[in-house]
């Protein structure tokens, strides 16, 4: 019996997957890439990430059918769509993208649009002021002999502020109306109702954070910068760009957490928590999960606020 090396089996898997995607691309080009209106009459929408799908569902209601590329638990830094998702994209009417530098979109946008040249694209971040990631949000500085990270790029996680959620809703409404003018009044009513809900959510979060004296929290992955900026908090991020921390960087994170009296490390479910768990052990603390990519947008922000309040006590 011959056992194939593990890396050989993995290589064969990716080769087969790449071939399948290539065949889909070729088929789309040869067929003209026209978006097809489904027999149900619903607008077929595909969103890049789960939170954006929530906005489409709330505004589109019964007039839309929504799918997601980076599904629950997927890491947008490394995610690759399945052949089934690529086929679905080729039949969709509208693609809702973050448009803020999410790596999945940067890596796949050209290939996705080649599948469906007639698809409409909604840039959810249109009208939003994107913030730089910034050195101030890092818990460590580069040390001699370690590679420098580029922190001048923009923070892509703009949706985690309710203030930015309102232009997202407007962008989605505008795109749906362009594809389905008959639903204009319906979409407008849904967007107005959602706008009121988002204002209420913002008020709830502000009220919950009002009495919190310590305003600093430690996250492993820097996803909550817009939330922190909106509510006068300071996000201290352990890592940048999804890269593993070096031992020296780990030491600096631990030192800063101890000096700030921090005992909670917030982690994202899309990333390994191994290093965050190690940091928590060294500061006699714990890790707490907050999800930047939850489908249930409003409830998720309420739960995250509760977690931050408890963690900053």
| DSSP per residue, 108-123 | HHHHHHHH-TT-EEEE
- Mapped onto helix, strand or coil, the DSSP state of residue 218 is strand
298 inside domain: yes
Name the percent of the chain in helix, strand, coil, to the closest 5.
50, 15, 35
Q: What is the CATH number of the domain that holds 264?
A: 3.40.50.1980
> Can you give the pLDDT at residue 7?
39
> Can you give the pLDDT at residue 68?
97
146 inside domain: no
121 inside domain: no
182 inside domain: no
**pTM for the full model?**
0.83
- Mapped onto helix, strand or coil, the DSSP state of residue 53 is helix
> Can you give the pLDDT at residue 14?
39
Residues 236 and 230: their CA atoms lie apart, in Å, by 15
Written as tens digits, the pLDDT of the chain (313 aa) is 433 443 333 334 334 444 444 444 444 433 333 444 444 589 999 999 999 999 999 999 999 999 999 988 898 988 999 999 999 999 999 999 999 999 999 999 999 999 999 999 999 999 999 999 854 344 444 333 333 333 348 999 999 999 999 999 999 999 999 999 999 999 999 999 999 999 999 999 999 999 899 999 999 999 999 999 999 999 999 987 677 899 999 999 999 999 999 999 999 999 899 999 999 999 999 999 999 999 999 999 999 999 999 999 8
Q: How far is CA 115 from CA 27, 34, 38, in A?
A: 8, 9, 17
Q: Which spans in the chain are helix H?
A: 6-30, 50-60, 83-90, 103-115, 162-179, 184-209, 225-230, 247-259, 274-282, 297-312
Contacts of 2 (CB under 8 A, 6+ apart): none
> Can you give the pLDDT at residue 40?
58
Residues 141 and 239: their CA atoms lie apart, in Å, by 10
> Can you give the pLDDT at residue 211?
87
Radius of gyration of the chain measured on its C-alpha atoms: 21
* Of 93, 313, 63, nearest in space to 213 by CA: 313
Count the domains in the chain.
Answer: 1
Q: In this structure, which long-range contacts are made by residues 278-287, counting pairs with CB atoms below 8 Å and at least 24 apart in sequence?
A: 278/250, 279/220, 279/238, 279/250, 279/253, 279/254, 282/254, 283/254, 283/257, 283/258, 285/257
Instruction: Extract the tokens encoding 259.
Output: 């000096």
**Domain residue limits at 232:** 210-312
- Mapped onto helix, strand or coil, the DSSP state of residue 281 is helix
Contacts of 220 (CB under 8 A, 6+ apart): 237, 238, 239, 265, 266, 267, 268, 271, 273, 275, 276, 279
294 inside domain: yes
304 inside domain: yes
107 inside domain: no
Counting Cα atoms < 13 Å in the Cβ hemisphere of 128 gives: 30
Q: Please name every residue paired with 65 in a beta bridge, in sequence order, or none if there are none.
A: 44
10 inside domain: no
> Can you give the pLDDT at residue 268?
95
The label of the residue with tokens 């290939």 reads: 111
């Amino acid at each position: 019996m011959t056992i194939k090396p593990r890396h050989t089996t993995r290589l064969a898997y990716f080769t087969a997957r790449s071939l399948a995607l290539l065949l889909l691309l070729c088929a789309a080009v040869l067929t003209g890439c026209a978006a097809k209106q489904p027999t149900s009459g619903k607008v077929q929408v595909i969103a890049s990430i789960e939170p954006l799908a929530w906005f489409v569902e709330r505004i589109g209601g019964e007039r839309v059918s929504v799918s997601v590329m980076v599904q629950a638990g997927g890491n947008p830094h490394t995610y690759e769509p399945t052949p089934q998702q690529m086929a679905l994209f080729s039949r969709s009417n509208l693609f809702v993208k973050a448009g803020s530098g999410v790596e999945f979109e940067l890596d796949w946008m050209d290939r996705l649009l080649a599948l469906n040249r007639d698809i409409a694209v909604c840039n959810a971040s249109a009208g939003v002021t994107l913030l730089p990631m910034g050195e101030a949000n890092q818990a460590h500085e580069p040390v001699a002999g370690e590679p420098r990270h580029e922190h001048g790029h923009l923070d892509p996680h703009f949706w985690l502020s309710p203030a930015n959620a309102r232009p997202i809703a407007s962008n989605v409404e505008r795109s749906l109306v362009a594809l389905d003018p008959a639903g204009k009044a319906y979409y407008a009513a849904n967007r107005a109702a959602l706008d009121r809900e988002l204002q209420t959510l913002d008020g709830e979060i502000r009220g919950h954070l009002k009495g919190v004296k310590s305003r600093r929290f430690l996250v492993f992955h820097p996803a909550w910068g817009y939330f922190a900026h909106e509510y006068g908090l300071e996000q201290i991020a352990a890592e940048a760009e999804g890269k593993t921390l070096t031992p020296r960087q780990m030491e600096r994170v631990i030192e800063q957490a101890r000096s700030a009296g921090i005992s909670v490390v917030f982690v994202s479910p899309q990333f390994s928590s191994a290093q965050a768990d190690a940091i928590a052990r060294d500061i006699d603390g714990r890790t707490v999960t907050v999800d930047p990519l939850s489908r249930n947008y409003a409830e998720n922000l309420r739960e995250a606020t509760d977690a931050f309040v408890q963690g900053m006590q």
